[in-house]
Structure 1
Amino acid sequence: MRHARYLLTLILAFVLLPLLAQEPTQPIRLELPLIPEETEVEVIALPDSSLLVYHKVSNAWETIATFRFTKYNHKLEEVWSDTAQISPDSDFIRYYTEAPYTYLAFDGDDYQEYTFVRLHHKTGSVRHKRFELEHIDAIYEFNVLKGNYFIIGQNSKDQKPVLFHLNPASAEVKRLPSIYGDESKFSDLLADPEQGRVDAVLTESNGRISRLQVKSFDAQGKLLRNFFVLQKEDKSLLNAEITPGDTTQKLLIGTYGSRDLRYSQGFFTMPLSADAVEGEFYNMLQLKNFLKYMKPRREARTRRREAERLRAGRKPGYNYRLLLHDLIVTPTGYLLGAEAYYSVYKGSNIGHPGIAPILARYREPEEIKRSHAVVLSFDRNGTLLWDNTFRLSGVTTYDLRHSVELQHFPDGRVVMAYPKDNEILYHIMNENKYEDEETKLEIKLYREKEKSLGVDQPGIIRWYGNSMAAFGFQRIRQENGPPRRVFYINKISF
């Protein structure tokens, strides 16, 4: 019997290993005759396994512009297409999907005027309306609950973040109650349609310590509940994502620090209940793979040095700046992704991962570089199940935005991926098992004898099932004739 089980294990290993190592496929490609000099494009995944492609074509002065919205099914076949007569100076900011609609927010040359477009997924009907939001001059976050808009913006007077409720039917705008200290900021905004409420997570700080506050509103903007989240004396709660569900099930999952409130020293989970004063805290040395982006000898040296600091009763010497991703709900719990980044300043080498810059504090960064991305898996109670790391090589942006896409597949696999010119670099996570090998996928063209001459504005988003969508503007050398320029969308199936 034991031999039979052993034989069965070997057979399964031979069958499954090739499947796990198999390179992702690219079964479908769509090309659109668009060029980057005159086109703005956004690709949005819809809940019904389709894609919504918005593109704006305008002249150099933005005096003439066409705004087009097109839906493609899972085979990248056009389902419907329509345009909206929006002011030519309008530019896309953010979107939010509340089935059966997707809402898109646009700003314009007048910083206090915003246009909101509503698209029906099935029919393609387009409605748009312009509103004057006189108290803000920028929009950071945008959620929709039962057709009502919840907007985090920048106060035009003091540049602090504020939360507004907008009823598009009546055009009534009201500022929602919150505490806005000098160091306060919003950490998360989550519309929970099943519970009929919106949860806003605020980080409150006096510059030395910080805590979290959670405010819950109904669809009309009425304050339902207010939570002040306590923490241990030696830990400041910096940022957090909130889980969906009723109050007894909700968790906060985020980062904490101690000395400098700009830098994280670990992750925490905490139940959102009136008597919750304790949570689970995981410093970065407790995580199995957080430091795996380093060379082995450097990681060992770092761990040895930090262990000596702890034995001597000193505070940790490592500090990281982390950009959190939205939580992903899985059948067994939650996934939290984060990107570790550091700033490079003009004329200086100041800024390295894990080291808090001092002289650079009052200077504007020239570039924002990533050292690595991490994913943490938690169960429904907030207990850490595993962590893993994805080393990021040469990933640089000029503003603080997500560079890596994280997706959980129905078969339980977790993948992190990012685009780099004509390639997709990806890592399929096998729970705690760290893989140092870099895996790449070259973007496939229509014809084998064609060659990519370069990709502008590459991107990748999670789509449906085991598929992601990669896209960008591409110059292609043809077998016969001059190079052609297109905007492509490739389906990537893992």
Structure 2
Amino acid sequence: MVLFRYLFTCLLSLILLRVLAQEPSQPVRLELPFDPEENDVEVLALPDSSLLVYHKTSNLWDTQATFYFTKYNHVLKEVWADSASLPPDSEYLRYFTEKPFTYLVFGKDDLQEYNVVRINLETGQTEFKEFEIETVDALYEFQVLQGNYFLITRSKDDGKLLLMHLNPTTGKVKLLPGIYGDKSYFSDLLADPAHDRIDAVLTESNGRVSRLQVKSFDRNGELLNNYFILQKDDKSLLNAEITRGDSLDKLLVGTYGTRDLRYNRGFFTAPLASRVVDAEFYNVLQLQNFLKYMKPRREARIRRREADRLKAGKEPRYHYRLLLHDLISTPNGYVLAAEAYYPQYRSGAATHRLLGRMGTIRNPEEGYKRTHAVALGFDKNGILLWDNTFPLKDVMSYELVHTLEVGRTRDGRVIMAYPDEDKIIYRIMDEEKFDDEETELEIQPYKESGKIVSTEYPGIIKWYDGTFVAFGFNRVRFSNLDTRNIFYLNKIHF
């Protein structure tokens, strides 16, 4: 009996040590005197391991407002602060960093008017310009190449998506050549300053088949190259992310479907210059962990059923819609993450127009529920090395946007995380080693700050080298029963 207790104690100690070793640390917390009723706040990660915090303070009628921008270093110490006098109805939309500047785009009540704030990251000096784009009523993506703006917008006349170039010096806007069909959309837009080009990946569809088209432009919006990526056999290419690099080295990494273009059947990689002649295709059943969000018996049953259907030449029955994340570059290749989702309708059947990672045009869905998230590792030639899965429970969004953040540590582990009130739900992936243990981290206040009573608008973003930052509004109760609202930033290191 004594020996049994000793062995049991040792085993329990090893389990506890393993859990404690993996639990992320929260070395720094910053609390700011913001109130969710009075302040709009955005937290933006900068490439020099710092953060930019934007907040807007306005009166009840939104007739007066002040816009503040503060930079914090890697230990959340203030570096500089500045403000801008924007119109009170300005609302933050997008941002993009091209050293030495960060650009923030603001929309207005007039849907054709936009303000772009340019901030010098070294000095904090801000300046802004107002632009009017008469033909559009929404902006979905914004990127900068050598000081020139590239926008994905929506036509106010027919609702089609448009790719535009805006010269900030002259204010001139031009529509870039592309296929702007009713069933076409952009799945990626990538600025590549090292090669002085920007690549736009378009999905073109006639409702029966789809293909990809990649257009490359220089800083002035002049077309450099145009690649039509044709389908192979019975496979339709649905969407893709593109890598940086020379044209001969660029890869497309994305998803494909078969007869029903609403659903993904697997993933593909292809050299851009090959037009998919040398593409690699990986269906869902080939992936080791894609179905691990299911119970083991259900997974085994699904695999047997689908294998029999494939042998009989029948269409697969599994139905997956995938929202891709940006590619993560690694020393040996790339990591692609995606969220599997399905729409929940209010009534009857409905359709929606997917804009890839840029969002969605609203239709009468209640929202989009997630089943799981996946990560796939590829080498530089596009060969699949591993895959892993993060089961998601009760995760839902009312817009088709990313619900979790994906980062990578220096030692190669992939981190997936999302906020849940005063907790962070996360998964640490060591390549294909699947772990079904649920892991969560409770957001910690200052020891002297008392107790966190409630949390509103929680968020988390990847920061640098396996470090994330969690943020949101807390209502804090102190030992003297005094309470106050604060905006918190917790540095989280995995």
State the alpha-carbon separation in 2 of the partners of residues 379 and 214 from structure 1. Answer: 22
Structure 1 partner of 2:391 = 391
Give the CA deviation at 1:206.
Answer: 0.6
Aligned pairs for 1:149-298 within 5 A: 149-274=149-274, 276-298=276-298
Q: Is the 8 A contact 1:232 1:278 kept in 2?
A: no
What SS is found at the alignment partner of 1:170?
coil
Identity of aligned residues (%): 62
1:396-429 CA-partner distances (Å, limit 9, x unpaired): 1111111111101112121111110000111110
User: Where do 1:309-348 residues align within 5 Å?
Assistant: 309-346=309-346
Gap change, CA 1:20 and 1:235, over 3 Å in 2: farther
Q: Give the 3-state SS of the residue equivalent to 2:292 in structure 1.
A: helix
TM-score (norm 1): 0.92
Q: CA deviation at 1:349?
A: 12
- Paired position in structure 1 for 2:68: 68
1:28-43, aligned counterparts within 5 Å? 28-43=28-43
Shift of 1:269: 0.3
Query: 1:53 maps to which residue?
Result: 53
Instruction: State how far apart, in whole Å, the 2-side matches of 1:345 and 1:329 are.
Output: 36
Contact 2:343 2:365 in 1 (8 A): yes
d(CA) in 1 for partners of 2:312 and 2:407?
A: 41
- Larger deviation: 82-91 or 256-265? 256-265
Change (3 A) 1:184 1:363: closer
Structure 1 position 231, deviation (Å): 1.9
* In 2, Cα distance between equivalents of 1:176 and 1:449: 54
Return closer, same or farther for 1:382/1:424 CA change in 2, 3 Å cut-off: same
1:341-397 Cα distance to aligned partner (Å, 9 max, x none): 11112268999xxxxxxxxxx972112111111111111000011010011111111
Could you give the per-residue CA deviations for residues 131-167 of structure 1, whole angstroms, max 9, x where no partner exists? Answer: 0011111111111000000000001111000011001
Deviation at 1:233, TM superposition (A): 2.6
Q: Given that residues 231 and 278 in structure 1 are in contact (C-alpha distance below 8 angstroms), is that contact kept between their aligned partners in structure 2? A: no
Kindly tell me: are residues 448 and 385 of structure 1, through their superposed partners in 2, closer, same or farther at Cα, counting changes over 3 Å? farther
Is contact 1:242–1:250 with CA below 8 Å preserved after alignment? Answer: yes
Q: How many residues were matched structurally?
A: 469
Which amino acid in the other structure matches residue 58 of structure 1? Answer: S
Inter-partner Cα distance in structure 2 for 1:432 and 1:184: 34
Amino acid in structure 2 at the alignment position of 1:172: K
Say whether the 8 Å CA contact 2:238–2:254 is kept in structure 1. Answer: yes
Alignment partner, residue 6 of structure 2: none
Unaligned runs of 5+ in 1: 1-13, 352-361
Task: Say whether residues 1:98 and 2:93 are aligned partners.
Answer: no
C-alpha contact (below 8 Å) 1:231/1:277 kept by paired residues: no
Q: Distance in 2 between matches of 1:171 and 1:350?
A: 39
Name the stretch that deviates more: 32-41 or 115-124. Answer: 32-41
Determine the structure 2 residue equivalent to 1:138: 138
Change (3 A) 1:174 1:347: closer
Cα distance between partner residues in 2 of 1:401 and 1:435: 26
Aligned CA RMSD, in angstroms, stands at 1.8
Could you tell me whether the CA contact under 8 Å between 2:414 and 2:429 is conserved in 1?
yes
User: Contact 1:229/1:277 (CA < 8 Å) preserved in 2?
Assistant: no
8 A Cα contact 2:29 2:489, kept in partner = yes
Distance in structure 2 (CA, Å) of the matches to 1:439 and 1:349: 36
